[in-house]
Structure 1
Amino acid sequence: MPVVEVTTDPTPRASGLTLALSGVAVLAIGLAGLQTGNFVATQFDRAAWLGWLTLAVAVLGFGLLLAAAWRELSGLFALGRVDRLRNALGSGDARRIHAAARLWAATMPEAATLIPAIDAANDPDAILALLRAGPVAAMRARSDALGRNAAFQTTVGIAATPSPALVVLLVAWRGVRLVRQVAALHGMRPGLLGTLGLLHRTMLAAGLVAGSEAAINAAAHAVLSNPLLAHAIGDMAGAGVAARRMILLARATAAACTPLGAARDTDTTF
């Protein structure tokens, strides 16, 4: 019996929804551009100065829209880059790990000393250990500092906010701002779509960093033990929960923004 070889196309194809949305975007942008071009031409027929003025307004408006779109795409590309680096560093392939480590190290302030150390390490495990002990630990310490600062500010805000609805808005706003601060610390500038994607990844990473419960509780207690806060808040149950969530959010965001550390974040030091 002849053997029939079945081959599959390894290239992923775009879904129908992606194609439909792309078509809508092309039509919207294309027709808007054509309509604007016709309007600019009409204004030139009326008067040269009016045509140039209309053209300047159109160029400025489309330029701002394109800049906003590029900023959103850059944030999404940054998230995709973290995923690619994480896959390469966890692949077990020595060459991929070395290349990914050098690529990641090149974006860090300590690249001048970190890249030669990576090149000198001929063992993939040594490279990963070097990254965890160096940039990962440093970034996590800075993220923890941002989390404690956010916890302190949130606690003070809760003490000064009379309305429960305003408390919810305050905690939500401070949490989103903390996520963006930690992302900026890792070299990312997420826009609206990038922030939403990062929030989703942060929620997934929160379960992986929950092993540091003792450290998070200790850090929250340190924030709430401030004499001024103890005098101002009185009953600190709600403030304690909010402070703990801010600290956990900082660590989870750092895990989501770091190619290493999310799956092995078992350090309980704070």
Structure 2
Amino acid sequence: MSEQFPPRKPAAFRLDQTKVRMTDDLDEEPSANETLVHQDPALDDEPRLPREASMPPKRTSFGKWFLIGLSGLASLALGLAVDSLIRDLFARTDWLGWLGVVLAAVAAAGLVGLAVRELGGLMRLGRIDDLRTRLAEAADTDDATAATSALNDLLKLYKDHPQTAQGRKLLRGHMREVIDGRDLVRLAERDLLAPLDREARQIVLNSAKRVSLVTAVSPRALVDLAMVLFENLRIIRRLSVLYGGRPGSLGFLRLAKHVLAHLAVTGGLAAGDSFASDVLGHGLAARLSARLGEGVINGLLTARIGIAAIAVCRPAPFIETNGPRVKDFMGELMSSTPADDKPANK
């Protein structure tokens, strides 16, 4: 048997101390006032865990710099132009100069009001997105406390909405009696949001009918494109106002971006013969004329965008039902009656 070293008591020391020396010779004896740390050479051959990959460096956003600088220069140029104009007016006569000052003040006040309105629209859209997320989480976790808090905010959102008066009354009663979070969200969907959902469906149906009719009889592709674009933008804005968003120009662009993102996530837009075959059926698609078939397909695509807009604008997820689907609009789009654009109930 090999020689055994006498056991020693455990000791703690730092490897960077001057009295500690590393060695790979197991037979080497330490000198006086020295501590040897024996290192097994075989350990150096063992694979080591790779270091955590470092995050790639952030790229400098030169585009943002360009936009900031360009907007700053444009603001300076506009300010200098107004200042020069007012000076020229004062040089001509005093009353023209003071008129220029008043008009500049009116323009500044309008700009501030526009900025406040845009900011308010963005805040409302953010509030609706936050409500939808909170209600979805409360329904998934069956958290009654979280559901009650989110539903109180939902009631505040619709406190001035006459169509939800009865639903708000019923929901307040449910919140005092029901203790399950998921059931509370379902009751809010049934009693509070159901009237808005019916009107939203009618808005989408009317727009889809108009698109289907115009594109079926229009002789110009440019007219078709303009009609489809106009109705799709109109759907998004009307649904946002219906559900309490009321976006400004910037908010509307943000909302349209969210609708397109929702379409991309849920499968996007279908087009061409495969879409007609899948939705309308092979036999029916073959019997339709080219123009009528094109009108129906454009109407269904418009309905598809409207469905995505409902999902984005609605302040609560669909829990009780799956929400509207394209095939729900198919039968009415196939009818020959033109769309009656019914005004929204006030």
- TM-score by structure 1 length? 0.71
2:308 to 252, 259, 265: 252
Structure 2 letter corresponding to 1:241: I
Relative to 1, partners in 2 of residues 1:84 and 1:31: Cα closer, same or farther, differing over 3 Å?
A: farther
CA distance in 2, matches of 1:17, 1:264: 48
Greater share of helix: 1
* 1:135 matches 2:181: no
Q: Does structure 2 conserve the Cα–Cα contact (< 8 Å) formed by 1:105 and 1:114?
A: no
How many residue pairs were aligned? 242
* 1:81 matches 2:127: yes
Match of 2:233 in 1: 176
Match of 2:244 in 1: 187
Relative to 1, partners in 2 of residues 1:102 and 1:31: Cα closer, same or farther, differing over 3 Å?
A: farther
| 1:250 CA displacement | 1.8
SS for the counterpart of 2:246 is coil
| 1:251 CA displacement | 1.8
Relative to 1, partners in 2 of residues 1:17 and 1:80: Cα closer, same or farther, differing over 3 Å?
A: farther
The Cα offsets for residues 224-270 of structure 1, whole Å up to 9 and x where unpaired, read as: xxxxxxx9x77421111111112222221111011322688624684
Q: Which has the higher contact order (CA 8 A, sep 6+)?
A: 1
Structure 2 letter corresponding to 1:87: T
1:117 to 148, 173, 181: 173
Larger Rg: 2
SS for the counterpart of 1:91 is helix
- TM-score by structure 2 length? 0.57
Structure 1 letter corresponding to 2:305: L
* 1:66 matches 2:112: yes
SS for the counterpart of 1:190 is coil
Q: Does structure 1 conserve the Cα–Cα contact (< 8 Å) formed by 2:189 and 2:319?
A: no
CA distance in 1, matches of 2:230, 2:61: 36
CA distance in 2, matches of 1:262, 1:207: 19
1:100 to 129, 141, 150: 150
Match of 1:91 in 2: 137
Match of 2:334 in 1: none
Structure 1 letter corresponding to 2:150: A
2:293 to 222, 233, 237: 237
CA distance in 2, matches of 1:133, 1:115: 10
What is the CA RMSD across the aligned residues, in angstroms?
3.8
CA distance in 1, matches of 2:215, 2:173: 47
Structure 2 letter corresponding to 1:80: G
5+ residue gaps, structure 2: 1-12, 14-59, 268-275, 281-287, 329-346
